[in-house]
Amino acid sequence: MRINLDNVPLVTQSAMLKNILLAFEHEKFSKELAAHIVGGVTKLERLIAAEKVHAEKPCMKQNGKWFVNAPQVLVHCKNRR
């Protein structure tokens, strides 16, 4: 379902975005989900390398799970128009 924000004032849109980012403040995404949101694994890895997105892998096993900061991923989400 798409949400139409064409008739919503910019100030209200900004407040909505701030509320969404605050709601996800302590949430983490998997690397797979984060890559899907930003537009691919390569782009996610570039964002991590540029320190625009924080990611951690607490377990150094080969197949250990990555935890990626959710609000930072949402800020860099791919435009899907």
Q: How does pLDDT run across 9-33, given as a tens digit for each residue?
A: 999 999 999 999 999 999 999 999 9
- State pTM to two decimals: 0.82
Say whether 69 sits in a helix, a strand or coil: strand
Where residue 8 falls among pLDDT bands split at 50, 70, 90?
A: very high
Where residue 52 falls among pLDDT bands split at 50, 70, 90?
A: very high
- The yes-or-no verdict on residue 81 having pLDDT over 70 is no
45 within 8 A of 73, measured Cβ to Cβ? no
The stretch 43-64 carries a mean pLDDT of: 91
Question: What CA–CA distance (Å, rounded) separates 46 from 27?
Answer: 21
